[in-house]
Each structure stands twice: as C-alpha cells, then as structure tokens.
Amino acid sequence: MDRSFKAVDRNGNNCDFELIVPGLAQERESEMERLKAYTEALKGGVLPREKMREILQDNDVWNDKSEQSFTESIKKVAKLELKLKDAITKGEGTECTNIAGELSRERLGMFRLFLIQQTVLTNSCEGYAELVKLEAMMAACTYKKQSKQRYWENYREYVLERDENPHSTVPILVQELQAAIHEEDHQKLIADYPEQKWLKDFNAQLTAQMESQLERVRQEVTDKLEARVKDEAGAQDKQSSD
C-alpha cells in the first residue's frame, strides 16, 4: 500500500507526507510514551487490567467458564487446522470443504470470545497506554516527504495539533492511512488462514472446470451448427443439379 498522502499542515500549506515503516528508534520512543500514559492513567483513577477482570467476573460478563470456552476454542481451531492439512494431503476434496466450513465457524466463535475478553484490556490502564503507544508510533513515523524530516518532534506536539489546530488535516489523514494499512494487514492475515486458502483454491479449480465444460459445450454446438450448415448446403447443391 502507498504510504504517502497529501494534507494541509499546521500553517495552512498543502504538503506531501509519508508514514514511514517504524524502526527501533520509533519503537523506543513509543514505548516511553506507553509507560508515561500508564502512570498517568493509574493516577487518574483508571483501573488496571486485573481489577477490571474482577469487575467483569462479578458482573458475569467474563468468568472462568468464558475463559475455559475460549481456551477450548483455541485448541479446537488448532486441531481443525491439522485435520484440514491432512485432508488436503490425502486429496479428499469433499472432506476438505466440510472441515474448512467448520474451521471458519469455529474461528469466528473464537474471535467473538476474544473481543469480549479484550474489553478487560481496552478499558484499563494497560489499554489506554497501548492506544497512546500506537498514536506515538504513528506520530514518530509521520514525515514531510520533500525534506525527509519528521513532522512532529514529539508525541505532545501531535496531540496539540490534533486537539487545538482547526486548520491542519495531517492528524486525521495519517490516522486514516494507518487504519487502512492495519485493515490491509488484517485481510492478508485472514487470507493466510488454511480454510481460506483451501476454499480459494477449490473455487479456482471449480471455476476452471466450469469454464472447460462450457468451452466443450460451445465447441460441440459450433461443430453441430457447422455440420448442419454443411448438410443444408449439400442438399441445396443437389436440388440445383436436379
């Protein structure tokens, strides 16, 4: 994906920007912001993850049974992946399709449980700190394309421009670009699931077979038409000679 974009900067100028791939320097900087954010959140009264977990258990949102179901779902997905791989090796097409469908449904259920579990983290000190880290990483990777210099000197500069500058479109557009990159990575991850690969290959084979059959039918029809035209032409020639 193209990591460049155009935006209006803090001074109202139209500029070209680029979201570079993060390196060790950006990782260290964003990690420092994560640690600071965690401390600030804790001082501000945000609950840590373990306390949030207790509250969810007390309200029966996520309990030991939920945790067990999630663990069992992870194990089942792993077993089905091995089962699908074995069926593919043996060339059992129908069995592969059945397993792929079951695996897809089980993985979806696993993700649903995962999303419920993640509410523990998202609304905790840890969750807030991780969001700050992602933003700090993004800010540190935002560069002016022409000068090859980073746009914001630090995370605080990014926050001030994001919250207080009504003219700049850099913060919102770089957020949109980062979201698009994450979505592309997510789709690539999904495409790499064994059930998705099998179904894609199976559909490709099925399409090829259908196209081959259609071509054969078209050829048969063409041959019959040509033979009929030839027969009719021969009959007309015979009548003319008589």
Tell if the pTM clears 0.85, that is, is over it.
Answer: no
Please count the CA atoms within 13 angstroms of the CA of 57 that sit on its side-chain side.
10
CA 85 distance to own-chain centroid: 23
Give the C-alpha distances (Å, rounded to integers) separating 156 from 15, 36, 139: 21, 12, 10
Most distant pair of Cα atoms in the chain: their distance = 111
In contact, 93 and 202? CB cutoff 8 Å:
yes
Report the alpha-carbon distance of residue 226 to residue 232 in Å, rounded: 10
Question: Which residue's entry shows tokens 């994560």?
Answer: 34
Burial of residue 224, with CB atoms counted within 10 A of its CB: 0-12 exposed, 13-18 middle, 19 or more buried: exposed
Which amino acid is it at 9? D
pLDDT score of 44: 93
State both tokens at 111: 């993700």
pLDDT score of 196: 75
Report the alpha-carbon distance of residue 13 to residue 21 in Å, rounded: 25
Report the alpha-carbon distance of residue 127 to residue 37 in Å, rounded: 10
Look at phi and psi of residue 91 and say left if phi exceeds 0, alpha if psi is from -120 to 50, else beta. Answer: left
Walk along the chain (242 residues) and give the pLDDT tens digit of each residue. 899 999 999 999 999 999 999 999 999 999 999 999 999 999 999 999 888 888 888 888 788 888 899 999 999 999 999 999 898 888 888 888 889 888 888 888 888 888 877 776 788 899 999 999 999 999 999 999 999 999 999 999 999 999 999 999 999 999 999 999 998 988 887 777 777 776 676 556 555 665 666 667 567 667 766 666 566 556 666 666 65
Report the alpha-carbon distance of residue 196 to residue 12 in Å, rounded: 46
SS3 11: coil
Cα angle: 85, vertex 75, 88; to 5 degrees: 10
Buried b (16+ CB within 10 A) or exposed e, 59-97: eeebeeebeeebeebeebbeebbebbeebbeeeeeeebb
Cα angle: 196, vertex 66, 194; to 5 degrees: 10
Of 170, 140, 154, 33, nearest to 162 (Cα)? 170
pLDDT score of 104: 85
pLDDT score of 171: 97
